[in-house]
Amino acid sequence: MILSNSDIHKHMKQKRLIVDPLNEDTVRENGIDLRLGSEIARLKRTNVTFDPHGENKYQQFFKKEFGESFIVNPNERILVCTLEYIELRSDLMGFVNLRSSYARIGLSLPPTIIDAGFKGQLTLHVTGGSFPIRLYAKDRFFHIVLAKLTSDSVKYRGIYLGQKGVTYPKF
């Protein structure tokens, strides 16, 4: 079952869904909008091999930046984070999408879900389009469609629990 705005408000009132900070325009008709954080990590072009089973020095593969705005270059891949910290109880999960205005100018986000029981800021991968695009921290950037599971999930114990800011991949 997809949650409507009245269901979302009800879950927030019961503290089954936490979004912090919560703005007036966060809750939408059938989901929540989250804002872009003030930190990104650009994926570098390199011939160094990333080994998911090895010891990686992330500065070889990523360059972190902090600011109020960022330019995403054509076809560039970046990691971004949400401004908001969220908590989903064990009976809620989320489907993450770009807000359609950003998709319409060529940005893309791979299919992403938020596991039931997740707590933290989201780190997401965005790919640039055909021309440079300036993004602004604190702008509504992501839309999350929330779904109620048919029963409670196993308690989330994933490696990204409680993450803050852009978080590098963990294997």
- 112 domain residue, yes or no: yes
Average pLDDT over residues 64-73: 98
Whether the CB-CB separation of 42 and 76 falls below 8 Å is answered with yes
pLDDT of residue 139: 98
Q: What is the pTM of this model?
A: 0.92
**What's the pLDDT tens digit per position in 6-58?**
999 999 999 999 999 999 999 999 999 999 999 999 999 999 999 999 887 89
Mean pLDDT, range 59-79, rounded to an integer: 97
DSSP string covering 106-121, please?
T-B---EEE-TT-EE-
Predicted pLDDT at 161: 93
Tokens of 133: 């695009």
User: Is residue 98 in some structural domain?
Assistant: yes
Residue 170 lies in a domain: no
Tell me if 24 is assigned to some domain: yes
Spatial separation of the C-alpha atoms in residues 19 and 34, rounded to whole Å: 9
- Is 155 part of any domain? no
CATH number of the domain encompassing residue 114: 2.70.40.10
Residue of 171 and 145 predicted with greater confidence: 145
Confidence at residue 149, expressed as pLDDT on a 0 to 100 scale? 92
pLDDT tens figures, 118-158: 999 999 999 999 999 999 999 999 999 999 998 877 778 88
Q: Is residue 34 part of a domain?
A: yes
Domain extent at residue 112 = 5-45+57-148
Specify if 16 maps to a domain: yes
Structural domains in the chain (count) = 1
Nearest by Cα to 41 from 57, 68, 64, 75: 64
Residue 105 lies in a domain: yes
